[in-house]
Amino acid sequence: MTAQATSNSWDLDADVIVVGSGAAGLPAAIKAVEGGASVIVVEANYDVGGHAILSGGHMALGGGTSVQRKYGIEDSPDVVFSDLTDWSIVQPNGSPDFRYNDRAVMRAFADHCAQTFEFLLANGVEFTDKPPDNHGASTTGNSAPRENHAFWTKGAGLESPNAAPGTGVIRPLEASARTKGVKFLLNYKMTSLIREAGSNGSPGRVIGFTVQHTPHIMPGAKSSLKSFRSEGNIESDRPTMTLRARKAVVVATGGSTSHIEFRRMFDPRLTPVVQVGGEPYSYQDASGELAAMAVGASLWGLANQTLENGATMRTQRALATKYNYTTWKLESPIFPLVKATGFNVKDWQDLILVNQVGQRFYDETKGDVPHGNNGAQVTPYTPNDYRNAENVKYSPTKYNFTHAALAMNEYSEPPDYCAGPVWAIFDTDAVEREGWKITPPHVDPDGFFFAASTLAELAAAIKNEYQAKPMKGAVLEATVARYNSMVDRGEDSDFGKPAPKYKILTPPFYAAWATPVVHDTRSGLRINAKCQVIDMSGKVIPGLYCAGESAGGFNQHGMGRCATQGFICGIQAAAEPRGE
């Protein structure tokens, strides 16, 4: 199919147009085409998948799925609904996972959750045949294990941008969508929605949107990057186009984590120094939210974004690379953008973490913030009983790494008082103990990894766009000397690291990027139970739907909620009246 201008000035025309091809967009497209609609998926990237294709493929879906029944796990939509609206559940850090969930949105999720699981199976997604568990889970509810694990192996039409299990969800859905007749417009980004005037001058339906050609959506990407599958692709190189959606537009654009000013509305600390999981393959730049807000949409459930939930902020996984949440593979087609794989830490005793000033701030061995409440985490459990909190092992200090890392320091200056980067400092003995490879492409010496023969030279060598001022050699030397003395004493009197083990003594010395990452969007456009977008006066915006991380009112990590909302959107969008 080739894009062509039509007499009414629309360049492309379909009943339902889905914006975004990730965990929410593909189910929406498939359900809409199954419902008899003609469907186009518009995707800003060169290939489909968004964050979902990079994901671990763990999917929280319960409510009485065939696999839950097979393994004798009792669950039902009512139990899912009760779980995910239970105000009394708190995490070990005191965060109330479900308190601010929108009840209508949760009821819709609960009622469609098991159906979505069966829908995924019917459209080619395979899950490992074992009982659902809590592995990879986040905020799935206390009453039953609900996490399923997508099965993926390389090859067999399942090519991945980064050999990630989420490919086992996305590629089968993509193949199914294409087979069923869904068209794909890749390398085009929705820039604004078009809403017609209603009767008596009030705003009417959303009838389409404008797109901009984005052959270079990833800064520095080669325009030769092509989608893995091409059947059904709409080919065009027009700089802009206007698309007509006769029934509905579905916004499935993945949230707002990559838009710095948008994410700072929720948390002012999230200045540009904080990178985003999923970049540089996929940018969740709030374009869906902003376009919908420009035609009157409201945001919703905003508290959820600032709750201290497990997956919202993450510690780094790979050191010495800017994109330090996902461990990028050398064979990834976008590796030239990523530049370095980074390396993982086996034993956090092997290093210290310092802020941009060169000072420690935390016990390096403490882990990530906890994932949310999952099956049997609170035992005994009585729904909505305030005493549930007494059965949580309350431990707020354990989960404050990201907050300590974002704390102001001597170099935090106006206007934003940014915390600056976090650096892992270690010596040659640590490199040997860990078996790290410290040459490119394992590390990125262009601002994210430094080596020097003295600590003073190391401090002076650290040059990075987010480092406000040069680290002072004397400060880093004093930090390391103090840490080494605490190793001698076997006690970290500053931050309580249990029995600090290794001195940092043997040159060369190293500094590796170790700044935390922002991960999930938990707040977005206000939707109702049908996933219709709601305006600032509480009314439905006709013809506009939203699903996934761009939708608000639902505090849960990941693909289960996104796929389920996509499923709902597809059904509802196909059932809309068809505009002339």
Which residues are at the interface with ligand FAD (CB under 6 A)? Answer: 19-25, 42-45, 50-52, 54-59, 136, 189-190, 252-254, 277-278, 282, 284, 287-288, 325-326, 548-550, 557-560, 562
With respect to ligand FAD, which residue has the nearer C-beta, 63 or 278? 278
With respect to ligand FAD, which residue has the nearer C-beta, 227 or 391? 227
Q: How far is CA 568 from CA 151, 173, 548, in A?
A: 24, 16, 11
Q: How far is the CB of 289 from ligand FAD (least distance, A)?
A: 10
451: nearest Cα among 435, 427, 430, 467: 427
State how far the Cα of 166 lies from the Cα of 386, in Å rounded to an integer.
37
Cis peptide before 132 (omega within 30 of 0): no
With respect to ligand FAD, which residue has the nearer C-beta, 77 or 566? 566
Tell me the residue type at 69: R
User: Residue 505 CA to chain centroid, in angstroms?
Assistant: 39
State how far the Cα of 448 lies from the Cα of 316, in Å rounded to an integer.
13
Tell me the residue type at 446: D
With respect to ligand FAD, which residue has the nearer C-beta, 486 or 568? 568
Q: How far is the CB of 401 from ligand FAD (least distance, A)?
A: 19
With respect to ligand FAD, which residue has the nearer C-beta, 47 or 492? 47
60: nearest Cα among 41, 28, 83, 90: 83
Q: How far is the CB of 563 from ligand FAD (least distance, A)?
A: 8
State how far the Cα of 574 lies from the Cα of 564, in Å rounded to an integer.
16
| Helices 167-179, 25-34: inter-axial angle, 10-degree rounding | 30
Q: How far is the CB of 18 from ligand FAD (least distance, A)?
A: 9
Q: How far is the CB of 369 from ligand FAD (least distance, A)?
A: 15
User: How does DSSP classify residue 142?
Assistant: S
Cβ-contact 53, 332 below 8 angstroms? no
Residues in a beta bridge with 360: 354
With respect to ligand FAD, which residue has the nearer C-beta, 21 or 116? 21
Q: How far is the CB of 11 from ligand FAD (least distance, A)?
A: 15
Q: How far is the CB of 282 from ligand FAD (least distance, A)?
A: 5
Residues in a beta bridge with 425: 352, 511
Residues in a beta bridge with 183: 40
With respect to ligand FAD, which residue has the nearer C-beta, 275 or 359? 275
Q: How far is CA 233 from CA 42, 177, 178, in A?
A: 10, 12, 9
Q: How far is the CB of 286 from ligand FAD (least distance, A)?
A: 8
Cβ-contact 98, 87 below 8 angstroms? yes
With respect to ligand FAD, which residue has the nearer C-beta, 283 or 483? 283
Tokens of 101: 């969930």
